[in-house]
Structure 1
Amino acid sequence: MAKRGAIAAGHPQTVAAGLVALEAGGNAFDAAIAALAASWITEPLLTSPAGGGFLLAAQPHQSPRLYDFFCQTPSQRSPEPQDFYPVGVDFGDAIQEFHIGLGSVAVPGLLAGLLRVQAELGRLPRSVVLEPAIALGREGVEINAFGEYCFRLLDPIVTATPEARSLYQPQGQPLRSGDRFRNTDLAAVLEELAAPKGQAFYEHELLPAIANYCAAGGNLQLTDLQQYPVAVRSPLAIPFGNYRLLTNPPPSSGGLLIAFALSLLNQSVINLNPQQHPQDLVQLMRLTNRARRDFLDGALQQAGIDRQFLTGAAFEQAAAGWLNRLGSTTHISVIDAEGNAASLTSSNGEGCGHVLPDTGIMLNNMLGEADLHPLGFHRWPLGQRLGSMMSPSLLWGEDDRPHLVLGSGGSNRIRTAILQVIHRWAVEGYALAEAIAAPRLHWEAGVLNWEPGWDPAGIEAASQPSETAIAWTTPNMFFGGVHAVGLTATGEFCGAGDPRRSGVYGCC
């Protein structure tokens, strides 16, 4: 039986970095931060120091906290034309369009969040926590099959500028399985951050460098970066069976939409038996999307929107009769022997195609993510935290312990991936690895995407004549990447990484 803790994440070396922190006497939060820093080397096209994210922190006998260090809109818009243009990413079964360039860069928060969480919740020195990532940057990481897939998928972005090509295609061709990816510039940056004066380096050297670089065609100002606030919020909490679901609150929407769906299940508005009747699951997704459109979009900044949404007109109308894309995001789940839980989701979007010189840091493209801008590009409110589908979550038990810690990448598919895993594990009784690997479906905007393993007759019954059903030939990262840890019925650690994104589980 594991003694210190358990972690699930998207790469073996990401998990290994977290285990190093646990073995050094660190807690779940040390392990999550160590794994986050390592993921910038091991999963370089999914996350970056210049991205954003959230960490849900839960501790026995204390109020849980949600650290919001997601990206923010700049305080002013630069006049057109900007360095902002579309690229198409071909999944094979679907093509998704993203916008990149310096005009797509939002105010990043991930490094600010790392520094804040480590200072407030961690117990190890920052130098110990960052050492595994520094070593990985110097020595390199062997590319696995999923990494090769990502490099091929995002080739239009990683070849967009000479600096990006130099980092991601050092031999002039896409990296493949077995090749070694190094980022010595990022290792040097992390070494500076690990030093006693790391905070001063971040504030007085790194932030000005980002602002100066983005001045050539972006919107960022130095004051945007210097005044960026890490927000600490109370997580959204709802009862679900014998647990409390804790998840990401507004102004992000993903957690609220998961809570909305689970609230309908709590009150038996829908009784799911999804493997036999996928139409029930699809109708739950239709209902949730309609509620989002009619009651949530454009209102996430309103005070009390969570209570209004979960108990007001949206829920009442749903119960009364509404039933008649690549997300370059990664997730880390950690639980320790003391009962601490860390659920951390981070993203760089797909990256904007620009690498900050001499740092090895790809800048984000959050202002180019259509999912984050329902009112359209270049219409974002000034100086405001972006909403997100990212939903670091956990199920907290009546025994004051975390029983399931999970989250996912996957853009708009995040909420449906998490919903399906929670239901299979907590209601249908699947083992955690089976709940994660089971086939998924996702309905949105009249399109039903489904993985192999569903009954085609059930899918046909779930589809309305005006809708499109897309049958994927294999499981795909399009449907998210749920990495989760938890407790078995006997109190032992368990966990699994999502095979769609080469997820890994480890304990020590």
Structure 2
Amino acid sequence: MQKGVVAAGHPLTAEAAAEILSEGGNAFDAALAGLAMATIVEPVLASLGGGGFLMAKPAGGDAALYDFFVETPLKRRAADETALLAILADFGPATQEFHIGLGASATPGMAQGIAEIHGALCTRPLSQLFEHAIAAGRQGFPLSAFQAYLFQVVAPILTASESAASVFAPNGKLLGEGDRFENPGAAESLALLAEEGPRPFAEGEIAQAIAEQSAAEGGHLALEDLRSYQVARRKPLLWRHRGAELALNPPPAASGALIAYGLAALEAGGDGPANSLVLYRALCATNQARQSHGAELGDLLQSGKLKDEIASLKGHKPAYRGTTHISVIDAAGNAAAVTVSNGEGNGHMVGEHGFMLNNMLGEEDLVGTEGWCEGTRLSSMMAPTVIMGADGSVAALGTGGSNRIRTAVLQVALNLIERSMSLEDAVSAPRMHVEKCGTLSFEPGIGGIEQAVAEAEDVKPWPAPNLFFGGVHAAKLDADSTLEGAGDPRRGGASIVV
């Protein structure tokens, strides 16, 4: 008898979660096991110094959103005392400016989020859930091709300090594909979390190390920031489309309302499955809705509630940074979709504890004295989503991909709901994306793309599927109890059915 399915951004992440399913743990147990492993094997994207979201749908119960994303510091340090350094990340064809340093770090929520989720939804002790992650950190593992690529992209961050270089470039050279990566400090931090819960991260030795480092090296964070952090349990934004119901990330996150807006725009475009032109116009309309902050939503909205949801985003600048995702569904029908981010990291390890704090305050829109308000949960484009199909099926999905997150999730959801694709086909199908500047980017193989190209202000065709378009990792329990998983090959994804 099958016990469950997991999809994730790294084979070892998927294996850690699958092992818990095979031992009889539920989807939420498995998701935390995978999340712990991700902090070890996907360190650019997942860290105890970051945060994220879990969309949880217990079998027979209502969906709930656990928000453990980062929060702005309670008190801003003077600009001339703040450490911020601009660096260029090298993506090959293009570069992007990021800001790092202690002044770029917001209050992390990862440890508190894990503890909250564990207490509410899990059945196995954290020591069991973290066992494989702790072993991987202590013993090491070969660096995957995708993680090695990310190391190269953010090399200036991973070598910005002696503490970071000692972990990511231990012999004076950045680790590459196949090299053995070890992080015993991160393993010990996970062991401490398993043994003592979040207290060490809120007021104990790790919190003290964060506060002392911040005070000494130009950061905003103080012990009170860490002590006062609270996980928020929110009601999801529920949206119906073609008979299915989607549980979406609600405000202050921006993603859910904008995905729902895109679905509303598609429904206004006709009754049949959306063609490329209708989808292109819906993506353009969603961009306009985001830019208007709810002020000019037009007549496409089919729900006054959604109008309120989008209007509530006014003043919230969403974080777009590097993310990874894990989806798990067990045979009982429990569904977990968890998306996390550390930005790219601030370039400094926290003492000997094996992790960097995030650099979320290094977003272009947030840098500067007017960029952020004190003591506020940051908005995000992360979009962990659960789809309850009209036929009784359940799917969990989400993605990394910066501002392409909402368009990737929207298109995979459409493939499942409107086109009745298998999960693997829905994830691997070619995607498009429309930037707010009007540029239409698209992968090869999209039928009827010519009409959208003719209407677009600017066009960028991609020669092959690319991680630019996200990495949707999805799990599904079909109406006949068959389990499906799909790890997106664009971002080194893996899936396992057990």
| TM-score normalised over the length of structure 1 | 0.89
Letter of the 2:255 partner, please give it: G
Q: Deviations over 1:49-72 (max 9, x none)?
A: 110100011113322211000000
Distance in 2 between residues matched to 1:474 and 1:398, nearest whole Å: 34
Unaligned runs of 5+ in 1: 298-304, 316-324
Is the 1:405–1:484 Cα contact (8 Å) retained in structure 2?
A: yes
Asked whether 1:380 is paired with 2:381, we answer no
Partner residue in 2 for 1:93: 93
Asked whether 1:136 is paired with 2:141, we answer no
Partner residue in 2 for 1:189: 189
Is the 1:54–1:345 Cα contact (8 Å) retained in structure 2?
A: yes
Letter of the 1:393 partner, please give it: T
Structure 1 residues 36 and 296, CA gap change in structure 2 (3 angstroms): farther
Partner residue in 2 for 1:318: none
Which of 307, 310, 313 is matched with 2:306 structurally?
310
Q: Deviations over 1:151-186 (max 9, x none)?
A: 111111111111111111112212222111110111
Partner residue in 1 for 2:280: 282
Partner residue in 2 for 1:357: 351
Structure 1 residues 378 and 163, CA gap change in structure 2 (3 angstroms): farther
Aligned to 2:252, what secondary structure does the other structure show?
coil
Q: Deviations over 1:94-136 (max 9, x none)?
A: 3322211111100100111001101111000111011111011
How far off its partner does 1:226 sit? 0.4
Which of 402, 411, 425 is matched with 1:420 structurally?
411
Letter of the 2:108 partner, please give it: P
Is the 2:105–2:220 Cα contact (8 Å) retained in structure 1?
A: yes
Partner residue in 2 for 1:33: 32
How far off its partner does 1:419 sit? 0.5
Partner residue in 1 for 2:385: 393
Distance in 2 between residues matched to 1:130 and 1:377, nearest whole Å: 40
Structure 1 residues 387 and 311, CA gap change in structure 2 (3 angstroms): closer
Q: Deviations over 1:60-101 (max 9, x none)?
A: 332221100000011111102221122222323333222111
Is the 1:367–1:377 Cα contact (8 Å) retained in structure 2?
A: no
Which of 319, 326, 334 is matched with 2:328 structurally?
334
How far off its partner does 1:266 sit? 3.5
Is the 1:47–1:347 Cα contact (8 Å) retained in structure 2?
A: yes
Structure 1 residues 100 and 199, CA gap change in structure 2 (3 angstroms): closer
Distance in 1 between residues matched to 2:264 and 2:244, nearest whole Å: 13
* Mapping of residues 103-502 of structure 1, within 5 Å: 103-195=103-195, 197-203=196-202, 204-215=204-215, 216-268=217-269, 273-274=274-275, 278-296=276-294, 308=304, 310-311=306-307, 327-370=321-364, 373=366, 378-398=370-390, 403-446=394-437, 447-454=439-446, 457-458=450-451, 460-464=453-457, 468-488=458-478, 490-502=480-492
Distance in 1 between residues matched to 2:28 and 2:112, nearest whole Å: 15
Is the 1:282–1:462 Cα contact (8 Å) retained in structure 2?
A: no
How far off its partner does 1:488 sit? 3.5
Q: Which moved more, 1:83-92 or 1:186-195?
A: 83-92
Is the 1:249–1:306 Cα contact (8 Å) retained in structure 2?
A: no
- Count, aligned residues: 481
Is the 1:6–1:493 Cα contact (8 Å) retained in structure 2?
A: yes
Aligned to 2:7, what secondary structure does the other structure show?
strand
Letter of the 1:152 partner, please give it: Q
Distance in 1 between residues matched to 2:242 and 2:235, nearest whole Å: 21
Moved over 6 A (4+): 312-315
Distance in 2 between residues matched to 1:175 and 1:479, nearest whole Å: 26
Aligned to 1:175, what secondary structure does the other structure show?
coil
How far off its partner does 1:238 sit? 1.1
Partner residue in 1 for 2:68: 69
Letter of the 2:15 partner, please give it: A
| TM-score normalised over the length of structure 2 | 0.91
Letter of the 2:125 partner, please give it: P
Aligned to 2:397, what secondary structure does the other structure show?
strand
Letter of the 1:476 partner, please give it: N
Is the 1:105–1:363 Cα contact (8 Å) retained in structure 2?
A: yes
Asked whether 1:50 is paired with 2:41, we answer no
How far off its partner does 1:141 sit? 1.9
How far off its partner does 1:402 sit? 5.1
Distance in 1 between residues matched to 2:460 and 2:268, nearest whole Å: 31
Is the 2:440–2:453 Cα contact (8 Å) retained in structure 1?
A: no
Partner residue in 2 for 1:3: 2
Is the 2:102–2:219 Cα contact (8 Å) retained in structure 1?
A: yes
Is the 2:14–2:34 Cα contact (8 Å) retained in structure 1?
A: yes
Distance in 1 between residues matched to 2:62 and 2:396, nearest whole Å: 16
Distance in 1 between residues matched to 2:69 and 2:413, nearest whole Å: 24
Structure 1 residues 342 and 438, CA gap change in structure 2 (3 angstroms): same
Distance in 1 between residues matched to 2:284 and 2:157, nearest whole Å: 33
Q: Which moved more, 1:376-385 or 1:120-129?
A: 376-385
Structure 1 residues 434 and 428, CA gap change in structure 2 (3 angstroms): same
Letter of the 1:161 partner, please give it: S
Unaligned runs of 5+ in 2: 296-300, 312-318
Is the 2:294–2:307 Cα contact (8 Å) retained in structure 1?
A: no
Distance in 2 between residues matched to 1:507 and 1:34, nearest whole Å: 16
**Superposition RMSD in Å:** 2.4
Distance in 2 between residues matched to 1:178 and 1:489, nearest whole Å: 41
Structure 1 residues 155 and 144, CA gap change in structure 2 (3 angstroms): same
How far off its partner does 1:309 sit? 6.3
Q: Deviations over 1:370-423 (max 9, x none)?
A: 36x4x9764211101000000100111356x55211001111110000011111
Is the 1:413–1:480 Cα contact (8 Å) retained in structure 2?
A: yes
Q: Deviations over 1:187-234 (max 9, x none)?
A: 111112222x34443331211211111112111111011000100011
Identity percentage of aligned residues: 44
Asked whether 1:507 is paired with 2:497, we answer yes
Distance in 2 between residues matched to 1:378 and 1:230, nearest whole Å: 26
Is the 1:73–1:380 Cα contact (8 Å) retained in structure 2?
A: yes
Structure 1 residues 288 and 178, CA gap change in structure 2 (3 angstroms): same
Distance in 2 between residues matched to 1:199 and 1:258, nearest whole Å: 33
Q: Deviations over 1:400-458 (max 9, x none)?
A: x5521100111111000001111112212222112211222211222222223346734
How far off its partner does 1:296 sit? 4.0
Structure 1 residues 402 and 84, CA gap change in structure 2 (3 angstroms): farther
Distance in 2 between residues matched to 1:117 and 1:15, nearest whole Å: 19
Letter of the 2:326 partner, please give it: I
Q: Deviations over 1:261-298 (max 9, x none)?
A: 11223344686544xxx33222211100111111349x
